[in-house]
Structure 1
Amino acid sequence: MSSKHIKINSKVVKLIINVFKEYKPLTFLLLFIIIGTIGFSLATPQVLKYIIDDYLTVGGKSLLFPSLLYFATIVLLGIFNFGKEGVITIFGQKIIRKIKEEMMIKLEKIPIGYLSTNESGSIVSRFSNDVEAVGSLFTSGIVSMFVDAFKIIGIVISIWIFSYKLGILVLFIIPVVYFLTRKFQKKMLNAQRLYRVLTAKVNNHIPESINNIQMIKSFAKEEYMEDKYVNYLDESYEAMDKINFYDSIFSPIILVLRAVVIAIVVILSSDHLSFLGISIGTVAAAIELINNIFTPIENLGMELQNIQQSIAGIYRIDQFLNEKEETKKNVDFTYEKIINNNLNIELNNVNFYYEEGENILENICLSIKYKESVTFAGRTGAGKTTLFKLILGLLEPSSGSATLSNVKVSEIPNYEKRKIFGYVEQSFSFIKGSVGEQISLKDEKISKEDIENAMKFVGLHDYIITLEEGYDTFASHHLFSQGQRQLLSIARAIVTSPPIMLLDEITANLDSETEEKIISVLKSASSERTVLSISHRLSSVLTCDRIIKLENKSIVM
């Protein structure tokens, strides 16, 4: 990913710029520290030259002042380096927080259809890996590269002032060290990536074996799984050996190269050759500068790599932040305003697709009157659940309209929808909280009395009060059977007394006895309400006014 992908209208770049504008004192402090770091890294060799030429070679002078001066420059350089790392880290964390906040705001506005066409792992990766990569743009990227680049420039200028011949030698060394470093870094990076992939395979093999242990034993696949695990281990060890090899030979090569360069400088500066024509102090200063130039050259390679990864992260986050948002909610469409109308549901020429050209539903025209009971039947994948989500306004039609009381459902605020619709899904999703909070979903407008009434209605109240802390017991899966979870789902749906109920194949995974109990509860909940239900089997539907069959993406009349 090249820098050309970072456009001037990049939302991530704008967020980063806003962070620097928001924390102006910290920004000026960072600039001051960078200047100080570069300045003192160049000043130390100059002080060393001053001590040798003006004190050690002359003799008879007190070394107290120059030694204190040299000590002071080293201490100040350490302080500025420490300050640089600290301020860069602070900026990196502030940038990460700002981007994550903006991404979470965006996530709340993205249509649910986006989540259907993008894997959750990919979305999580943008919140974690990509954001961290952008944060590293400052912690180990552009600022560090800026400092190292100016250090190199400063060192070259300093050496050139000492001797232009020595300067030419250094200019020859820089590209050699850089390309050698980049070569090793690329090989090491590839080896590390391979090792991470293989380590993931090793780690995934354990839970895979545990989760499928019954199948493995039933089909006598123990030896196969063992061999597979051993192969993964062998491959990961080979990858680690490559990493260790590159790591072990790189440092000695650089040390040898550094020693050769220093030896050349000493030889060319000797009295016998006197090729460079510089003093002993200048030679010492030049040696220290040459020592210092290797580290920033090595750092530049990794910093460029981090910047490239950061640019890729910025591009992916920009893609996310530029995703289409769901229809803006109209605050005027309140529960009270809608409930006073006819509450008829209308779908007019509705077409829907996740990917253009691959329709899920086509030309759906449907009118459902208030308090009517309708069952949707059809094979798996016919589009029944998608139709429910269109009626709920969770999805928007690709064309056509879905309305309630002549109002587009997608424009009704979500907090008003919960008062209107009671949606019972195929499975119950637990949230972190108490049993009571599973029903209220931590909505403060829903009272404890409302929760208890809903639980009494579905027949779970007597069981809940036997729990250690009653409704305040921390909810976990093991407390409830499959049938009880379905009753919890019904209680969650009816706790706000909604006038419309939607039941999505809720008896599909239940035994006949539990199914009868659920249907009995639903019959009571269905009185004086519009009830829409989904069933694969026409024989298992609730008593209803009509049955609508979906087939080949359309309603079969």
Structure 2
Amino acid sequence: MRNSLVKNSIINVLKKNIKIDVLLLFAVCGVVMASLIPPQILKYIIDGNLVPKSNNRLLFLATIYMVVLLFIGIFDFIKEAVLTVLGQKITKEIRLEMMEKLKRMCTMFFSSNDTGTVVSRFTNDVDAINSMFTGGIIGMMVDCLKVIGIVVSIWMFSPKLGGITFILLPIIYVITRIFQKRMLKAQIENRILVGRVNNHISESLKNIQMIKSYSKESYMEKNYSSFLLDNYKTVEKVNFYDSVFSPTIQLIRAVVIGIIVILSSKQLNYLGISIGMVAASIELISNLFTPIENLGMELQNIQQAVSGIHRVNDFYNLPEDQCEISELKAKDIIPSRDDITLCFNNVTFQYEEGTDILQNINLDLSPQEKVTFVGRTGVGKSTLFKLVMGFLKPTDGNITVNGIDVYTIPNSEKRKIFGYVNQSFHMINGTVAEQISLKDEHITRDQIGNALDFVGLTDYVADLEKDIDTQVTSDTLFSQGQKELLAIARAIVADPPILLFDEITANLDSITEEKFISVLQKASKSHTILSITHRLCSMIACDTVAILEDGRIKNTGSPEVLLQNDDWYRNHIALEKLTWS
């Protein structure tokens, strides 16, 4: 059964805010009822005071007329204020639920959806839903009630005039329906294209240095212009329908008022109503078309909200990580780091159906074994690490730790089992300590201090303004080499028994690399280590080297054995020595 995030969020907010709901209902009823009173007063002012030229009650009626208008404004203010409060509460509820959903999403979601698309769902789509409350569905209900009240009031003045008004309503409905269908289609297209534009901006900012280095500014600008043009065309459609709708309603109103005046003239007197009734009817007709004009804007807001609701609900119904419902604990899976078996059991993986990234990977690691994966770029080494940590699910086969499928281990427990380091260290908003703990409340200050001491950054951090409580406000606080050491500290702070190093020496100079390797060698003494490297000469000491080729393990063995029997490994080592000499 498909869940409706938006529906559930709305119901929850309404249940929690009964008093606000009652106040909104009071304001809506007040606006509708009060808006029907002024034309009735106007009728009595004209027929009872102006026409007979008697003004005994004129001042009183005029005062009542003004007071009613004041109350209309007060009720309308209350309605808008309450709608704004409810809209913000519903927006908050939806975004909180979406964030909870995002935490449960499988990693494949982030591989197949770009950043801009995800951000667009949290911002543009939810904002569109909010507009449904501040200027959409409630406003449409109010205006529909006004229309019904006005038609009844006109019918009471003259059944003939009421009949004319009643015939007018289907015409307005048909016109509104035509615009509704076209605007909905354009709004859905616009939602998709806004996400594409947002993603392009995010991608450009993230890779700005690479874009400038390779002089790809023109290429990115051309793509951006193309995306903007497509988005502009959909916005132009929406604006066209919106701009045509209002003048169409204005024209119909002018024609109808003209017909009423002609039919009420002394010569025809077809409607048989007094001058006061004519004046009141004209005001009612004007009041009839005002909500109908508003319906156009409210309709646009609702169409935006509907497209947003579809996209938010589609997001909420995406598959989640099954590991989140698991109750497995790290301490139960690995009671002792001296007794760890990591097994690759006929692992095959595809990002897209029909294209194997990895094929039939079989490998068994003994406790505290050190394995280095080597091979050309693009053979699937980094993907293999994501599979090891259970971020991706194999298309076939599985990877197990002590017989437990890693994909079924809850994410909250994985950090206690796996420590991952790659060549990109991503800072977060927070202190030095939080760069290491990632704001995990279960990690103590002593653990953070031990991790810094392990990687040799204790003295440097102690010299900072507030030690480990120093706020990291700039990437320049740490050098590239120090960031790599922080990455190791982040990986080992929870003392996981399995460490994964993904090409972590690629961006280091030779002096920093030497220090870095010594830290890795120290870490390898009590951990099972999996590493990836392109520079075989700089890899940490390992028990086994696994050579990947075309998504398969071509050969495995100790470095000494491979030097003897594997031509690719031997030639690669010789080439590196020649290059670096």
In which range does the TM-score fall when normalised by the shorter chain? 0.7 to 0.9
Partner of 2:124: 129
**Larger CA deviation: 473-482 vs 167-176:** 167-176
Decide which of 356, 359, 376 is 1:359's aligned counterpart. Answer: 356
Asked if structure 1 preserves the Cα contact closer than 8 Å seen for 2:430 and 2:471, the reply is yes
Structure 2 counterpart of 1:420, from 417, 420, 423:
417
Instruction: Work out whether residues 129 and 305 of structure 2, in 8 Å CA contact, stay in contact via their aligned partners in 1.
Output: yes
Q: Displacement, 1:18?
A: 3.4
User: Pick from 537, 540, 543: which aligns with 1:539?
Assistant: 537
Amino acid at match of 1:426: Q
C-alpha RMSD of the superposition: 4.4
Gaps of 5+ in 2: 556-581
Amino acid at match of 1:458: V
Choose from 373, 376, 401 the match for 1:379. Answer: 376
With over 3 angstroms needed to count, the CA separation of the structure-2 counterparts of 1:108 and 1:227, relative to structure 1, is: closer
Q: Distance in 1 between matches of 2:273 and 2:91?
A: 50
1:178, 1:297 within 8 Å by CA — same for their partners in 2? Answer: no
Q: Which residue, 424, 434, 449 being the options, matches 1:437?
A: 434
Q: Using the alignment, how far apart are the partners of 2:309 and 2:214 within structure 1? A: 48
Identify which range, 533-542 or 290-299, moves more after superposition: 533-542
Structure 1 residues 196 and 419, CA, compared in 2 at 3 Å: closer, same or farther? closer
- Give the Cα separation in 1 of the matches to 2:91 and 2:494: 39
Give the distance between the partners of 1:293 and 1:161, measured in 2 at CA: 15
Tell me, in whole angstroms, the C-alpha distance in 2 between the residues paired with 1:213 and 1:70.
64
Evaluate the alpha carbon distance shift between residue 197 and residue 13 of structure 1 in structure 2; reply closer, same or farther with a 3 A threshold. Answer: closer
Which residue is 2:575 aligned to? none
Match of 2:408 in 1: 411
* Structure 1: gaps spanning 5 or more residues: 1-6
Q: Distance in 2 between matches of 1:454 and 1:377?
A: 28
Which of the pair has the greater relative contact order for Cα pairs under 8 Å at 6+ separation?
1
How far 1:34 moved relative to its partner? Answer: 2.2
Q: Any conservation in 2 of the 1:335–1:416 contact (CA below 8 Å)?
A: no
Counterpart for residue 340 of structure 1: 336
Deviates more, 1:139-148 or 1:212-221: 212-221
2:415 aligned counterpart, secondary structure? helix
Q: Which residue of 2 aligns with 1:454?
A: 451
Any idea what the Cα deviations from partners look like across 1:307-355, whole Å, max 9, x if unmatched? 2222222221121111111123544523366132711111212222333
Match of 1:23 among 14, 17, 32: 17
Q: Tell me, in whole angstroms, the C-alpha distance in 2 between the residues paired with 1:101 and 1:538.
A: 47
Give 1:101's aligned amino acid.
Answer: L
Counterpart of 1:41 in structure 2 is 35
Secondary structure of 2:352's counterpart equals coil
Looking at structure 2, the residues matched to 130 and 237 of structure 1 have their Cα atoms a distance apart, in angstroms, of 18
Distance across 2 between alignment mates of 1:369 and 1:526? 14
Is structure 2 residue 67 aligned with structure 1 residue 66? Answer: no
Question: How many residue pairs are counted as aligned between the two chains?
Answer: 551
Identity %: 54
Hey, what's the Cα distance between the residues in 2 that align with 1:221 and 1:114?
Answer: 28
Taking the aligned partners of 1:322 and 1:191, their CA distance within structure 2 comes to 24
TM-score when scaled to structure 1?
A: 0.84
Post-superposition offset of 1:450: 3.0
Displacement, 1:534?
A: 0.5
Q: Displacement, 1:299?
A: 1.6
How far, CA to CA, are the matches of 2:527 and 2:335 in structure 1? 12
TM superposition score normalised by structure 2: 0.81
Q: Does 1:32 pair with 2:26?
A: yes
- Residue 22 of structure 1 and its aligned partner are, at CA, apart by 3.5
Deviates more, 1:253-262 or 1:482-491: 253-262
Q: Name the residue aligned to 1:140.
A: 135
C-alpha distance after superposition, 1:490-515 (max 9, x if no partner): 12122233322110110112222222
Q: In the aligned structure 1, how far is the partner of 2:229 from the partner of 2:417?
A: 59
CA distance in 1, matches of 2:528, 2:307: 50
How far apart are 1:261 and its partner, in Å? 3.7
Q: State the shift of 1:184 in Å.
A: 9.3
Indicate which of 513, 520, 524 corresponds to 1:515: 513
Residue 270 of structure 1 pairs with residue 265 of structure 2: yes
Distance between the aligned counterparts of 1:329 and 1:504, measured in 2? Answer: 29
Distance of 2:205 and 2:137 partners within structure 1? 45
What displacement does 1:228 show?
12
**Residues 423 and 243 of structure 1, relative CA distance in 2, 3 Å threshold:** closer
Q: Distance in 1 between matches of 2:178 and 2:499?
A: 65
Cα distance, 1:420–1:244 mapped onto 2, change above 3 Å: closer
